[in-house]
Structure 1
Amino acid sequence: MKIREFQPELKGNGLRIGIVQSRFNNSICLQLRDSAVTELKRLGVTDKDVILVTVPGALEIPLALQRMAKSKQFNALIALGTVIRGETYHFELVSTGSATNITNLSLEFNLPIANAVLTTENEEQAEIRANEKGRDAARVAVEMANLIDKLNMMSILSKNTKEENL
């Protein structure tokens, strides 16, 4: 049996990427942003093709992502934020609410959204993970944008083939 497999493609040339970054725990979020933007550039995404929007906190990220997704101007979006466990149940509410809504938006709009909203026990853990997660989010956004493009092209080709056979 011959299986058709799509290999990961990390070429960002021509892709338009939107980033929504929380300002809460700002120093860590700036690390996330800087590492994501650096990686996007390394992958070939130009400065003019990256739009950055900042919001107060992690719960506000999904609304900004939704507006960007509705614009249909982006190949992928990136969510950046940091939620650090405190002494109350608020951590669970914020981290679950943010993650659930980000995933739902991706599915609703058929648009890759790389979720790099860190959820950590303390600030030290967040600082350690910030650079790597920012880079990972950039790679996920580019890879998934390319994969969705290939899958969309495959759908178009199969639709055209079906129409030709009628």
Structure 2
Amino acid sequence: MFGADKGKADKLDGKELVIGIVQARFNEAITDTLAAACRSELIELGVAEKDIDHYKVPGALEVPVALQALAEKGGYDALVAVGCVIRGETYHFELVCNESAAGVTRVALDYHLPIANAIITTENEEQAIARQVEKGKDAARVAVEMANLLDEVG
């Protein structure tokens, strides 16, 4: 059975992992909370604070470019994309959501590097606030678990 030799605790062991976080500044009150929850959970999972690099970019559309630069630099076991897109009155919401998600996925696949996508997309600020802490923590768990999985399968 795939992965049968590793228990859940092993999959969430962040010791010796190096993680990069790329955070969009747009909707910064929310993205700051997302990033802080992610960083806190990474540390809780055993990732050393010195092994967490954190970069900020203007918005969600710029996140994939920064992720790509980090992937090309190398040395990361996983990356985390952090952002918040709240629906407005124009089609711009769909464009930003779709293109940022496609860019994050493309970088992950092109570089064979796990990227936890914590760019939340909501109808309003209240939904974003309700999700910000748990989504940040979840992104940390995804990054650690996927880094360990890719290390396991080689």
Does the residue aligned with 2:31 lie in a helix, a strand or coil? Answer: helix
Aligned pair partner of 1:114 in 113, 116, 138: 116
Q: Distance in 1 between matches of 2:3 and 2:85?
A: 37
Q: Per-residue CA shift, 1:102-152, capped at 9, x if unaligned? A: 001100000000000000000000000000000000000000000000000
Counterpart residue identity of residue 3, structure 2? E
Q: TM-score, normalised by structure 2?
A: 0.95
Instruction: Report whether the alignment pairs 1:102 with 2:100.
Output: no
Read off the aligned partner of 1:135 and give its amino acid letter: K
Matched positions, count:
150
Q: C-alpha root-mean-square deviation of aligned residues, in Å? A: 0.8
Post-superposition offset of 1:71:
1.0
> 1:85 is matched with which residue?
87
Per the alignment, residue 134 of structure 1 pairs with: 136
How much identity, in percent, do the aligned residues show? 55
Structure 2 CA distance, aligned partners of 1:130 and 1:73?
Answer: 28
Q: Distance in 1 between matches of 2:33 and 2:23?
A: 11
Which structure 2 residue ranges, 5 or more long, are not aligned?
A: none
Larger Rg: 1
Distance in 1 (alpha carbons) for counterparts of 2:109 and 2:3? 22
Tell me, what secondary structure is at the counterpart of 1:21?
A: strand
Task: Give 1:34's aligned amino acid.
Answer: A
Matching residue of 2:74: 72
Return the alpha-carbon distance in structure 1 between the equivalents of residues 153 and 115 of structure 2: 16
Residue identity matched to 1:37: R
